[in-house]
């Protein structure tokens, strides 16, 4: 039973993480961008490209390439920048992947040590006590489940809100750069439909709204401001990734301490406790 659980645990740790991590698709998208750049810089007209799905990068790039193909938006104005940010994102994701597997490796090592200790201690002491064994196994089963659940929940909670802001701000920038009408810019970008209630999106969006209204009413150019806001959004995105790394380290430590070390001490006491009590004898 223990061996079977270990196999299941290894499967979940290694193969299921591929479903949680999009690094492979992100790398394919990164190299696809290089191919697109080579085509465009050789004088070819932007076409319809098959882009690998990766976070918000794929739909964002597809939309901007559509603007380049239909309205003549210069590809060199957005492709190198997106490629650079994608490269940074992939670097962060690789670090997350490394932290994830380091945590899983620690879980597996403690799991193996715990049950090998129980086996050898039971052999040496001739004890067949299974006290706390089920409880310890239950903790070790709950550990990875909590780890996976917390990982997916935190990642979605932290990075999920970024997608609509990147889409709205980049659409706003592209439409203004192409000289679209006021109504088309506001309708297509959907920037006024964003209703942030939490920081840092609230303060960042506030920087955009007042100049946007001035542009709408008086035609004051705000394209440089939009570019600055987009860069600030990328900076916030990077900071959130760094924060997520720290959270993942703390999460891994807590799972290890609460579930695996807790289970280990339960097995130690469950195996040696009766033996020590028997040695002590009646008082």
What pTM, to 2 d.p., does this model score?
0.77
**Can you give the pLDDT at residue 11?**
47
- How far is Cα 129 from Cα 118, in angstroms, rounded to an integer? 10
CB atoms within 10 A of CB 270: 21
**Can you give the pLDDT at residue 236?**
92
**Can you give the pLDDT at residue 47?**
66
- How far is Cα 25 from Cα 271, in angstroms, rounded to an integer? 48
**pLDDT averaged over the chain?**
80
Per domain, the residue ranges of the chain are 24-280
pLDDT for 211-239, tens place per residue? 888 888 887 888 888 889 989 999 999 99
pLDDT for 55-83, tens place per residue? 888 988 888 888 888 888 888 888 888 89
Band (pLDDT 50/70/90 cuts) for residue 266 is confident
Rg of the Cα atoms in the chain = 27
Q: For a pLDDT cut of 90, what percent of the chain falls above it?
A: 7
SS3 227: helix
Selection from 244, 56, 87 nearest residue 167 by Cα: 56
């Amino acid at each position: 039973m223990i061996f079977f659980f270990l196999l299941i645990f290894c499967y979940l740790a290694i193969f299921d993480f591929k479903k949680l991590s999009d690094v492979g698709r992100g790398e394919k998208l990164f190299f696809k961008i290089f191919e697109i750049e080579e085509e465009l810089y050789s004088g070819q007209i932007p076409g319809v490209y098959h882009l690998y799905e990766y976070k918000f990068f794929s739909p964002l790039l597809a939309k901007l390439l559509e603007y380049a193909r239909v309205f003549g938006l210069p590809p060199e104005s957005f492709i190198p920048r997106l490629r650079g940010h994608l490269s940074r994102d992939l670097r962060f994701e690789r670090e997350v992947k490394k932290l994830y597997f380091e945590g899983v490796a620690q879980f597996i090592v403690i799991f193996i040590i715990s049950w090998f200790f129980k086996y050898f201690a039971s052999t040496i002491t001739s004890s067949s006590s299974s006290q706390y064994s089920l409880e310890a196994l239950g903790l070790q089963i709950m550990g990875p489940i909590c780890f996976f659940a917390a990982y997916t929940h935190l990642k979605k909670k932290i990075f999920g809100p970024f997608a609509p802001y990147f889409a709205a701000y980049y659409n706003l920038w592209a439409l203004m750069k192409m000289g679209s009408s006021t109504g088309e810019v506001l309708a297509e970008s959907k920037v006024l439909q964003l209703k942030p209630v939490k920081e840092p999106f609230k303060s960042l969006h506030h920087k955009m709204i007042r100049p946007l209204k001035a542009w709408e009413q008086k035609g004051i150019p705000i394209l440089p401001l939009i570019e600055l806001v987009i860069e600030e959004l990328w900076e916030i995105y990077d900071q959130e990734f760094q924060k997520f790394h720290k959270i993942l380290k703390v999460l891994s430590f807590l799972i290890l301490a609460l579930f695996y070390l807790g289970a280990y001490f339960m097995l130690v006491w469950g195996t040696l406790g009766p033996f020590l009590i028997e040695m002590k004898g009646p008082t």
